[in-house]
Amino acid sequence: MPELPEVETTRRGIATLMPQQVLRQCIVHQPKMRWPIPSDMNERVQNRTVLACERRGKYLLLRFEHGYQIIHLGMSGSLRSAPFEVERLKHDHVEWIFDQTRFLLHDPRRFGAVLWHDLRDGPILEHPLLAKLGVEPFSPEFNPDYLFQQLANRTASIKSILLAGRAVVGVGNIYASESLFKAAIDPTAPAKSLSYPQTIALHQAIVETLQQALDSGGSTLRDYQNATGEAGAYFDLYAQIYGKAGQPCPRCENPIQRLVQNQRATYFCAACQNVAL
DNA sequence: CTTTAACCCTGGAGGC
DNA sequence: TGCCTCCAGGGTTAAA
């Protein structure tokens, strides 16, 4: 579920409710996540004020005066506000209790994480998980010149470079396929082989795809909060090719194909993206 | 340094 | 109904 747009949408949602509130308790029901949740987590944050809800890549950052809670939703995580009368469900692993409401971290696969970074150990952005991340896709630093420089000398496929998040964060498995399709670039091409015009097209495709998904993700999250049923896979609403193997390419009608790169599925149109098989 | 592969975990879908 | 296999939107870590 959590692609960058959903993480950002989640951040915006909790940012309207959480900041300036005193966290009364942080209850860990299941510490076995991607990394163990520190056993003293509650002591760190109990009766402390949440100053802000920030984001770096797909990491959510709850800022306190003395440190940060680092939250990652992994592959299957979600963070939602739930009134006290709402019963905790299976896989609701962590609770944030405030005076007026509470939040629940739900994560069946437990690839997510909740960590503590104390500011005595340095600035938050120097945390090992954050220090080597690429630039934010909506920041001025992400521009064609920067991207071209990042791709230079890289022999790995452009798909895997995008997914690695060292050049730019937020391009998940869906958006890697979608962006490369939009830019008509072969996902298997070595990153260094992209021309400058191709890099311009890819840069534009990434920003447009993420922006469109952010708009869409926001609306589906509102739907999810209002309705009882599932929001469904929000990317189904606008994905051009992701998950659509066998269906006609929206541009040229040739069948969309699927391949596996780095153990992750890639969807593409061999004709539009000039893929040699 | 770069690139690739294994791995963490649960659950849904589909074949038999 | 059950059992089996495959698949899943992430990313760290070890190995080559």
**For residue A48, what are the domain limits?**
4-131
Is the distance between the Cβ of A29 and the closest atom of strand B smaller than 7 Å? Answer: no
> In whole angstroms, what is the distance from residue A275 CA to residue A249 CA?
14
Residues A96 and A148 in one domain: no
Residue A274 lies in a domain: no
Contact A107, A74 (CB under 8 A): yes
| pLDDT of the residue at A110 | 97
Residues A31 and A99 in one domain: yes
Q: Which residue has the higher pLDDT, A203 or A19?
A: A203
Nucleotide B5's nearest residue (CA vs C1') is: A262
| pLDDT of the residue at A3 | 85
| pLDDT of the residue at A2 | 82
| pLDDT of the residue at A224 | 39
Residues A183 and A246 in one domain: yes
Spacing of A85 CA from C8 C1' in Å? 32
Question: What is the per-residue pLDDT across A211-263, written as a single tens digit (0 to 9) for each?
Answer: 998 887 655 544 433 333 344 455 666 789 999 999 999 999 999 999 999 99
Is the distance between the Cβ of A165 and the closest atom of strand B smaller than 7 Å? Answer: no
Q: What is the DSSP letter of A88?
A: P
Write down the pTM of the prediction: 0.94
Total domain count, chain A: 2
Q: Answer left, alpha or beta for residue A57, where phi above 0 means left and psi between -120 and 50 means alpha.
A: left
| pLDDT of the residue at A226 | 32
Residue A273 lies in a domain: no
Which of A131, A163, A193 corresponds to the end of one domain? Answer: A131
| pLDDT of the residue at A237 | 65
| pLDDT of the residue at A181 | 98
Which of A70, A104, A131 corresponds to the end of one domain? Answer: A131
Residues A20 and A83 in one domain: yes
Spacing of A240 CA from B8 C1' in Å? 31
Catalytic pick from A34, A48, A63, A264? A264
Residues A219 and A110 in one domain: no
| pLDDT of the residue at A252 | 97
Region A35-59: what's the mean pLDDT?
98
Spacing of A90 CA from C2 C1' in Å? 24
Is the distance between the Cβ of A91 and the closest atom of strand B smaller than 7 Å? Answer: yes
Name A102's bridge partners: A97
| pLDDT of the residue at A213 | 87
Catalytic pick from A2, A5, A137, A187? A2
| pLDDT of the residue at A215 | 84
3-state secondary structure at position A115: strand
Residue A137 lies in a domain: no
Q: What percent of chain A shows pLDDT beyond 90?
A: 87
| pLDDT of the residue at A225 | 39
How does residue A146 score in pLDDT terms, banded at 50, 70 and 90?
A: very high
Question: What is the per-residue pLDDT across A78-96, written as a single tens digit (0 to 9) for each?
Answer: 999 999 999 999 999 999 9
CATH no. for residue A261? 1.10.8.50
Residue A24 reports pLDDT greater than 90:
yes
C-alpha distances (whole Å) from A273 to each of A159, A177, A204, A207, A254 are 13, 11, 16, 19, 11
> In whole angstroms, what is the distance from residue A243 CA to residue A253 CA?
16
| pLDDT of the residue at A233 | 54
Question: What is the per-residue pLDDT across A162-179, written as a single tens digit (0 to 9) for each?
Answer: 999 999 999 999 999 999
Question: What is the per-residue pLDDT across A101-136, written as a single tens digit (0 to 9) for each?
Answer: 999 999 999 999 999 999 999 999 999 999 999 999
Name A118's bridge partners: A67
CATH no. for residue A37? 3.20.190.10
Catalytic pick from A11, A55, A58, A102? A58
Tell me if residue A58 is catalytic: yes
A 160-189, residues with C-beta < 7 Å of strand C: 163-165, 172-174
A 42-81, residues with C-beta < 7 Å of strand C: 57-58, 72, 74-75
